[in-house]
Amino acid sequence: MTRYLALPRRLAGRPFRASTSGLSRSRLRASDLAAPHRDVRVSAALADDLLMRCVALSTVLPEGAYFSHRTAALLWGLPIADSDVDDLHVTVPTPVRAPRIRGVTGHQSRSIERMRMPPGVWVTTPGRTICDVAPGLDRVQLVTVIDHLLRTRTVADLTSAIAAHPHPQAARLRSALAEARPGVDSPRETALRLAIVDAGFPEPVVNGYIQSGEGFIVAKADLSYPGYRVALEYEGDHHRTDRRQWFRDIARYRELESLGWVALRVTAADLIPSPRVILEQLALHLRRRGCPLPRLRLPPA
C-alpha cells in the first residue's frame, strides 16, 4: 500500500490551489489527490459532487465571481435535470472578463444578485436564478421550479425579484408565478395539477387537510375537491417499496372511505405519456357527486 506524506493541516479536507500550496510537484501528482480543475487539488477521498466541484473551482475564480444559471439552480436544490457532463456556470461583474476554464461556462452581468452559501460558495439569489434558467425550461418545468421555491419564499419575494431584473422571459416568469402554488410537495404534483386545470376542471385545493366528523385531521390530500369529497394522491415509488408507508397508506384510505371520500391514487404511469385516463376517472367521480363540469379538453391518449 502506497504511503504519502500527510498534507499540512491548512490543506487537509478542502480543495486548494496547487501553485500556492508549497507542495512539491511529485506530491501534487500523487494518486491520493484529484485535480478537478487546472491548478486545483483536493483529496481523492472527498465526495465528488456538485458542491465540492464548485468549492474547488472557487479557489481559482476571480474576485466577485459567483455560480449562476443551472449550477445555481442545482445548488439551491431546484427540481431540474442534472447531468455529470454539465459545465459549471459562473458569472462575473462587468468589466471583469468571464472565466475561460475547461468545463466552465462564463457569463458577465452588470447587476450583482448573489448570496453566500455554506461552505463559502457564492451563488445567485433564488429570484435571479429562476430568471437565468427560464429560457431552458418549458411551462410545466418553470411552474414546478417556482412551486418548489414557494416552500421557502413568498409570492411577493419572487414578484419583486422578477421585476428587479429586466429579462426577455419576464412575461413567462410572471405567468408561471401566477400558476404556481405554495405547499406543493413534489414535481409530479405540479404536473398533475396543471394537467387538471388545462383540461378545464376547477382548480383543486393543494395539500388540504381532511377532517373527521369529530374535527380530527385524518389526512392531507395532495389535491382535493372538498365540496365533492374527491381527492387525488400522487404516489411515488417509496409508497410501494417502504413497508411502513404502505401500511400507513392502507389505513389512511380506509379512513377516507369511511368518511365518504373517493381517493384516486396516481402514479407516474398515469401521467406519462398522457394523463387522459386519470382525468376521465376524475371527471366520472366529480360528476357522480354533482359537480357541474364544463366541456373538458382532455389530452389525447
> Is residue 46 domain-resident?
no
Up-side HSE of residue 80: CA atoms within 13 Å toward CB?
27
> Is residue 300 domain-resident?
no
Residues 110-133 pLDDT 10s: 888 899 998 889 999 999 999 999
Is 239's pLDDT higher than 90?
no
**pLDDT tier, 254 (very low <50, low <70, confident <90, very high otherwise):** confident
Specify the number of domains making up the chain. 1
> Is residue 119 domain-resident?
no
> Is residue 83 domain-resident?
no
Least confident range from 9-18, 19-28, 146-155: namely 9-18
> Is residue 65 domain-resident?
no
> Is residue 148 domain-resident?
no
CA 101/CA 19 separation, integer angstroms? 16
Q: Which residues of 131-154 are buried (b: 16+ CB within 10 A; e: fewer)?
A: bbbbeebeebbbbbbbbbbbeebe
CA 52/CA 37 separation, integer angstroms? 12
> Is residue 112 domain-resident?
no
Structure confidence at residue 83 (pLDDT): 67
> Is residue 271 domain-resident?
yes
CATH code for the domain in which residue 278 is found: 3.40.960.10
CA 42/CA 115 separation, integer angstroms? 24
Residues 170-222 pLDDT 10s: 899 999 999 999 999 999 999 999 999 999 999 999 999 998 878 788 888 99
- Residue numbers of the domain that contains 237: 187-288
> How distant, in Å, are the alpha carbons of 66, 68, 86 from that of 105?
12, 10, 9
Whether the bond between 95 and the residue before it is cis, its omega within 30 degrees of 0, is yes
What is the grid cell recorded at 138? 418549458
Higher pLDDT, 44 or 180: 180
Region of 23 on the Ramachandran plot (φ > 0 left; ψ -120 to 50 alpha; else beta): beta
